Each structure stands twice: as structure tokens, then as C-alpha cells.
């Protein structure tokens, strides 16, 4: 089993660094175009198709043939469905981690929480989405201690504003692949009601963690435990008496 981790908006592969040591199998953390290993790409020209191709390219480069668990965090919810039909024979499961999955053909910017939407719009200029420290702390770090907050802020990078405006293609969700949506109960970025809508569009199983938007930072061991369970097909549904997989 191999885990392929796809980051959300304003992040690169480094956002997974604190999670990877707790995973049972080898992990490949993708850098989408314009950040990390692909930092030479002009963000203003990046498309969702480019993001999907980066995922495919990294999987091929790693030589992953089968038994892949593909994890989509946040904004990756609109790029990962594009690769599901191509990868279906090799996928053990797809995990949508508080993933933004709006109705097919709509724009991400139209589907996020109104308060978050205005903060995002205020952070856009010259085709670039740039998050300042105050926005990062409010949206991503509400459940973190000072050390975790500082580390998270250091991982934030600029992103393509065009990706927020591009109509999404979610036809790949029809691929015959097991999937789980992990809902985060204390998420101030992609709120629980929006997660509920996205989970309904994704279908499959649903699990919960008591976490803000970045559990790979705030509760990496608990997130890894849940991903390991899903990968092992041991517990893809809620595991506690009240229907919730508890974080700490």
C-alpha cells in the first residue's frame, strides 16, 4: 500500500511532513504546479488540468502500480476527481479530507462560506491568491497551539487565483473506486455544513475527526490512524458509539 497526498490551496507538499512518519506505508506528497518542486511554473497560467497531470506524473515517477490510497485535502477535492478514472484499477481508496467538492460545473469561489469567500477575494491580486498571516491564523489554525500555528504559517505559499474561478469537472467521481469523506468538526475554513454537502456529492463512507482544517499538523497521529484504517479496509466508517472518530 502507498499513500499519495495532495495538498490544498496555498500549500505545497511540505504541509504533510508531520503526518508522513505515522503512516503505515510509503507516501508520495505531490507538489502542484507553482510551488515546491514545481515552483518554476507561473501560477497565473495554472489550470485544474495541470494539477491533475502533476498528480499523475508524480505517481508514475514513483512507480506506483497498485494499492494506492489517494488523499485529497481541501482544494484538491476538485483536481483529484479528474484522475480517478485513469487510476481506478490501481486505487485501493480515495480519501477526501475536508475536501472542497462543489456541484459539477460551478466555481469553487461560489461555493465556499460567504465569510471565507470575502477573505479570499480580498487576498487576490494580479492573478495571485496570497494569504496574509491574519487570514492563515483565522482559517487554518484555530485549533492549534502557538508552535503549530507558526509552523503552518511558514508552509503557506501563493496560489493561482484562476483555479478558484475555473468551472470544475467532477465526472470522475463516477469511477468505480471506494471513497471516504473525512469531515472535520472544528474547521473554520471549509465549514461543517459545506463539508456535509461535499460528502453527499462524493458518496461512499464518512468519518469524522475533531479538528480544524489542518489535522495533518494539529493531530497528525490521529489522522494517520484513520488513514491507516481506511487503507487496511478495517474501519472506513465512524468508529465510536456516537458515530464519530474522535481526535484529541
Q: Go through 148-187 and write b for each residue having 16 or more CB atoms within 10 A of its CB, e for each that does not.
A: bbebbbebbbebbbbbbebebbbebbebebebbbbbbbbb
Looking at domain 2-231, its CATH architecture is 3-Layer(aba) Sandwich (3.40)
How do the pLDDT tens digits run along the chain, 248 residues long? 899 999 999 999 999 999 999 999 899 999 999 999 998 999 998 999 999 999 999 999 999 988 999 999 999 999 999 999 999 999 999 999 999 999 999 988 777 777 777 777 777 778 888 888 888 999 999 999 999 999 999 999 999 888 888 999 999 999 999 999 999 999 999 999 999 999 999 999 999 999 999 999 999 999 999 999 999 863 333 333 233 343 33
Q: Give the closest residue to 90 by CA, choosing from 51, 64, 71, 61.
A: 64
Task: Domain ranges for the chain, please list them.
Answer: 2-231
Residues in the chain: 248
- Please, are residues 36 and 96 in contact by the beta-carbon 8 Å criterion? no
As beta bridge partners, residue 2 has: 68
Is this prediction's pTM over 0.75? yes
Tell me the CA end-to-end span of the chain in Å, nearest whole number: 27
Given the C-alpha cell 494517520, which residue does it identify? 224
Our measurement of the distance from residue 199's CA atom to the centroid of its chain's CA atoms, rounded to an integer in Å, reads: 13
Amino acid at each position: 500500500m502507498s499513500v499519495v497526498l495532495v495538498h490544498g490551496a496555498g500549500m505545497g507538499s511540505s504541509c504533510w511532513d508531520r503526518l508522513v512518519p505515522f503512516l503505515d506505508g510509503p507516501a508520495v506528497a505531490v507538489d502542484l504546479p507553482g510551488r515546491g518542486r514545481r515552483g518554476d511554473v507561473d501560477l497565473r497560467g495554472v489550470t485544474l488540468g495541470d494539477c491533475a497531470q502533476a498528480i499523475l506524473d508524480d505517481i508514475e515517477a514513483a512507480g506506483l502500480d497498485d494499492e494506492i490510497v489517494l488523499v485529497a485535502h481541501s482544494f484538491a477535492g476538485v483536481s483529484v476527481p479528474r484522475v480517478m478514472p485513469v487510476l481506478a484499477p490501481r486505487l485501493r481508496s480515495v480519501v477526501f479530507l475536508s475536501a472542497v467538492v462543489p456541484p459539477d460545473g460551478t466555481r469553487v469561489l461560489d461555493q465556499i462560506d460567504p465569510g471565507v469567500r470575502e477573505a479570499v477575494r480580498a487576498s487576490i491580486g494580479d492573478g495571485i491568491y496570497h494569504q496574509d498571516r491574519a487570514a492563515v491564523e483565522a482559517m487554518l489554525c484555530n485549533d492549534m497551539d502557538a508552535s503549530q500555528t507558526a509552523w503552518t504559517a511558514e508552509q503557506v505559499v501563493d496560489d493561482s487565483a484562476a483555479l478558484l474561478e475555473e468551472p470544475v469537472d467532477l465526472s470522475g467521481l463516477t469511477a468505480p473506486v471506494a471513497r471516504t469523506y473525512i469531515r472535520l468538526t472544528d474547521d473554520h475554513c471549509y465549514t461543517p455544513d459545506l463539508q456535509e454537502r461535499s460528502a453527499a456529492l462524493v458518496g461512499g463512507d464518512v468519518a469524522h475527526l475533531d479538528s480544524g482544517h489542518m489535522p495533518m499538523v494539529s493531530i497528525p497521529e490521529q489522522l494517520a490512524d484513520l488513514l491507516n484504517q481506511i487503507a487496511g479496509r478495517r474501519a472506513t466508517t465512524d468508529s465510536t458509539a456516537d458515530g464519530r472518530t474522535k481526535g484529541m
